[in-house]
Every structure is written in structure tokens, then in C-alpha cells.
């Protein structure tokens, strides 16, 4: 990594969790006026099997000055990236870390036989320095996500559309149930922003690597599998809230109230476990009315996160080797985990 500021970069390690949390908390407070990252968020991200070993941190005097992380989707030309610096970090460190991300992505793309790498970075709408750095590094705005929240201080009315049946998976889910969730995820998110197909084995490994897994729900319409919902407990420590990580409905089953049925059952379950609120993210550019859907079950926007995208050429690769690019818009409902600031 070349930096325009004094820096001592080294590989990111699992035992950096406390220092990473301190760095991200300082960034959050500077941007939002409050902490917005939990120890749970950090643990989940560091344990993710897709985290590239060339992810790095830059050490200062008694603290981390900055960090660059890259998560490759297995065997595709897509990566989620995250760069963060301390509010008092040396000038130029953001640019240097973004350049390091480019280097890691080019190497990863070359190893995967890709002509291009598609990089997605999320940033708080209020984080103008990061957005300026992303623009200067060749990223462009792609879409925006709203964090939605519903208080669970009143009874949640169950929605039971005709022909729709919702059930909760076993705890833990069986292999058969995980295979069903994977199949529904791949089919219902096929043209979602940032989605990249992945095998069942890779998908299951990423899910099981999380130590904050929550309930999984399934819906059928007229006896046929139609949708799913996956929860996590990633917001319990900081907000005492349940989090909807993924919610998807097959195209043929849309318009039957499946998503509302899944959401209300999920909310009722969160309430029984003592959660004070339910939270999720939605792509505001979603053309299928997802924002209106969430508002119809009592959720309201509380924070905006912008997605930035860069398409990076991989030297020495022929154009006809380009990867399947992650699509530009979502068909239905929003997927966002801890990499989108929850």
C-alpha cells in the first residue's frame, strides 16, 4: 500500500476486534453524533469466511488510524469493500486505503479469471469526507438504503392472507431447511442490487460462521414454497432490537401478502423474546414498492446509507472473461447485513 501519510499497515487479525470497534465508534460519533457499531457487528465481520486475508489496518500511536476490508463473493467478479479512518487520521489515508482495496481486488479478480471486478462500498449519507474520497477514487453513487424501524411496544397484529401459511424453521434449522432457504434466496434476489449467486456450501458456511444467527421463517402459498425470512441478533447489544437480514418472495407469489405475513410473524417472535424494536434496510430505488410495504407494517425510516460502486478493470484479462455483474436494482425486498451499517 502506498500512502500519502505516515502509516504502518499490517494484516487485519481476529484479535483486532476491540481496536476495530474503537476505530468505528470514533468514526460513527464524528459522523452521526453517536455510536452505531457494536462488538457483535465487528465479531461477525471478522469471522466471515469471505473476508480476504489482505484486508489491513494502519496503526498509529496507541490506536488504529484506519482499516480496509474486502469480502469476495466466491468465484465471482464482485466484492463488498469497507474503508474507515479515525477522525484525526493523517490526511491522505482514506485515498491510500482505497488504493490498497483496488490492488487487492485486481489480484482477486485475476485469480478468479475476471476481466472486471465490481466493488460496492456503503457510506452513511452524512459522511461527506468518505463520499468525496469514494468519488475521487472512481466510485459512483449506485443506490441508497433506508434503515427502517418499528417499535414493538404494542401488540403486533398477525397478517394471515388467504392461502398463505407461515412456519418457523427448527432451531437450529435442519440441512433440508437451510437448502430451502438458500434456494429461495437465490431465486428471489436474482436481480437485487449487489446480489451475487453462490453455491449452497458457500452460502451455508457464511450463515453458520455468524454467532448472531436468529430464527428462519418460511411461507407457502397454496401449499407451495413462496418466501423466506432470516433474522439475526446483531442489533441486540446496541439497540435491543431484532434485525431482518433477508426477506425474499418468489416472483410468482408476489401480491398475495406473503411478505407482510412473514414480517408480522417475525415481529411477534421478536416481541416474545423481549426485543423493543424491529429493524431492517430497504433499497429506496426498489421499483416493487418495498418501502411502502415496510411502512404498511408500521416501520419508519431512521437513517440513510448510500451505496457506491466502482467497476475495476483487471489487467491481462480478455473482455469476454468478464464476470456476471451484480445487477443495478432490486426486484423485491432489501438484503443488508452488517456490511451495510445497521
User: For 244-296, how does the pLDDT look when each residue is reduced to its tens digit (9 = 90+)?
Assistant: 999 999 999 999 999 999 999 999 999 999 999 999 999 887 645 788 899 99
pLDDT (mean) for 286-312 = 88
Position 196 scores a pLDDT of 78
Position 338 scores a pLDDT of 38
Residue with the bigger pLDDT between 287 and 180: it is: 180
Position 335 scores a pLDDT of 35
Position 77 scores a pLDDT of 85
pLDDT (mean) for 40-68 = 93
pLDDT (mean) for 63-76 = 89
Position 75 scores a pLDDT of 64
Position 194 scores a pLDDT of 73
pLDDT in tens, 195-245: 878 899 999 998 998 999 999 999 999 999 999 999 999 999 889 999 999
Position 74 scores a pLDDT of 63
Position 272 scores a pLDDT of 97
- Mean pLDDT, the chain, as a whole number? 88
Position 5 scores a pLDDT of 46
Residue 311 has pLDDT above 80, yes or no: yes
Position 119 scores a pLDDT of 96
Residue 330 has pLDDT above 50, yes or no: no
HEC profile of the chain: CCCCCCCCEEECCHHHHHHHHHHHHHHHHHHHCCCCCCHHHHHHHHHCCCECCCCEEEECCCCEEEEEEEEECCCCCEEEEEEEECCCCCCCHHHHHHHHHHHHHHHHHHHCCCCEEEEEEEEECCCHHHHHHHHHCCCEEEEEEEEEEEECCCCCCCCCCCCEEEEECCCCCCHHHHHHHHHHHHHHCCCCCCCCCCCHHHHHHHHHHCCCEEEEEEEEECCEEEEEEEEECCCHHHHCEEEEEEEEECHHHCCCCHHHHHHHHHHHHHHHCCCCEEEEEEECCCCCCHHHHHHHCCCEEEEEEEEEEEEEECCCCCHHHCCCCCCCCCCCCCCCCCCCCC
Position 220 scores a pLDDT of 98
Position 284 scores a pLDDT of 81
Residue 336 has pLDDT above 70, yes or no: no
pLDDT (mean) for 168-173 = 96
Amino acid at each position: 500500500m502506498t500512502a500519502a501519510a505516515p502509516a504502518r499497515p499490517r494484516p487485519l487479525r481476529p484479535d483486532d476486534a476491540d481496536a476495530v470497534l474503537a476505530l468505528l465508534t470514533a468514526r460513527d460519533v464524528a459522523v452521526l453524533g453517536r455510536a452505531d457499531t457494536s462488538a457483535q457487528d465487528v465479531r461477525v465481520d471478522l469471522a466471515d469466511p469471505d473476508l480476504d486475508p489482505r484486508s489491513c489496518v494502519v496503526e498509529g500511536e496507541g490506536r488504529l488510524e484506519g482499516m480496509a476490508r474486502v469480502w469476495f463473493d466466491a468465484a465471482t467478479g464482485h466484492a463488498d469493500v469497507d474503508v474507515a479512518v479515525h477522525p484525526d487520521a493523517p490526511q491522505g489515508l482514506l485515498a491510500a486505503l482505497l488504493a490498497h482495496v483496488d490492488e487487492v481486488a485486481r489480484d482477486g479478480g485475476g485469480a478468479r479469471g475476471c476481466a472486471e471486478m465490481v466493488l460496492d462500498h456503503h457510506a452513511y449519507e452524512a459522511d461527506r469526507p468518505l463520499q468525496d474520497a469514494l468519488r475521487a477514487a472512481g466510485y459512483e453513487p449506485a443506490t441508497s438504503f433506508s434503515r427502517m424501524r418499528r417499535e414493538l411496544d404494542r401488540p403486533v397484529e398477525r397478517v394471515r392472507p388467504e392461502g398463505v401459511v407461515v412456519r418457523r424453521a427448527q432451531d437450529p434449522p435442519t440441512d433440508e431447511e437451510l437448502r430451502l432457504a438458500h434456494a429461495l434466496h437465490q431465486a428471489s434476489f436474482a436481480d437485487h442490487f449487489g446480489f451475487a449467486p453462490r453455491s449452497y456450501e458457500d452460502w451455508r458456511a457464511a450463515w453458520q460462521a455468524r454467532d448472531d444467527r436468529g430464527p428462519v421463517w418460511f411461507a407457502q402459498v397454496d401449499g407451495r414454497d413462496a418466501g423466506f425470512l432470516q433474522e439475526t441478533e446483531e442489533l441486540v447489544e446496541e439497540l435491543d432490537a431484532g434485525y431482518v437480514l433477508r426477506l425474499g418472495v418468489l416472483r410468482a407469489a408476489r401480491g398475495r401478502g406473503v411478505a407482510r405475513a412473514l414480517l408480522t410473524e417475525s415481529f411477534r417472535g421478536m416481541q416474545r423474546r423481549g426485543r423493543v424494536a424491529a429493524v431492517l434496510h430497504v433499497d429506496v430505488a426498489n421499483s416493487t414498492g418495498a418501502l411502502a410495504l415496510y411502512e404498511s407494517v408500521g416501520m419508519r425510516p431512521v437513517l440513510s446509507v448510500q451505496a457506491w460502486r466502482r467497476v475495476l478493470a483487471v489487467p491481462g484479462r480478455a473482455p469476454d472473461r468478464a464476470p456476471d455483474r451484480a445487477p443495478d436494482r432490486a426486484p423485491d425486498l432489501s438484503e443488508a447485513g452488517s456490511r451495510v451499517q445497521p
